């Protein structure tokens, strides 16, 4: 499994720990990405609950409902892991210099 963003055909961007199966994507701890303006006028992202009633935080999204998927920036993945995952932060190559 890996943390990815899935763009649904309905327009939502969902971040989750994703496992791809034959007919569906298995999403663990999915959250919708909400774009918002920060206090200093910049654009930022926040996480909103997505299917918070799902048992064990796991849902299936069938492949025909996915418009695309993408790898994400390390900062976004770290924030997701801080909230939903093990809390382990990943260092980018530039941070290791």
| Residue 32 CB contacts under 8 Å (≥ 6 apart), including other chains | 12, 13, 14, 15, 47, 48, 49, 50
Q: What is the pLDDT of residue 84?
A: 84
* Segment 20-72, tens digit of pLDDT: 999 999 999 999 999 888 888 888 888 998 998 998 889 999 999 999 999 88
pLDDT band at 92 (very low <50, low <70, confident <90, very high): low
Higher pLDDT, 49 or 90: 49
What's the pLDDT at 38? 83
Residue 7 pLDDT > 70: yes
Residue with more model confidence, 67 or 75? 67
- More confident position, 85 or 21: 21
- Answer yes or no: are the C-beta atoms of 14 and 32 closer than 8 Å: yes
Please name which of 4, 1, 26, 25 lies closest in space to residue 15, comparing C-alpha atoms.
Answer: 4
């Amino acid at each position: 499994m890996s943390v990815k963003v899935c763009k649904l055909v309905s327009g939502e961007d969902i971040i989750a720990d994703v496992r791809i199966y034959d007919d569906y994507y298995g999403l663990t701890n999915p959250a919708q990405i909400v774009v918002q303006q920060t206090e200093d006028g910049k654009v930022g992202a926040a996480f909103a609950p997505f299917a918070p009633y799902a048992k064990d935080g796991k849902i299936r999204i069938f492949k025909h409902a996915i418009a695309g998927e993408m790898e994400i920036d390390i900062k976004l993945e770290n924030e997701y892991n801080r909230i939903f995952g093990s809390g382990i932060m990943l260092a980018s190559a530039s941070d290791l210099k």
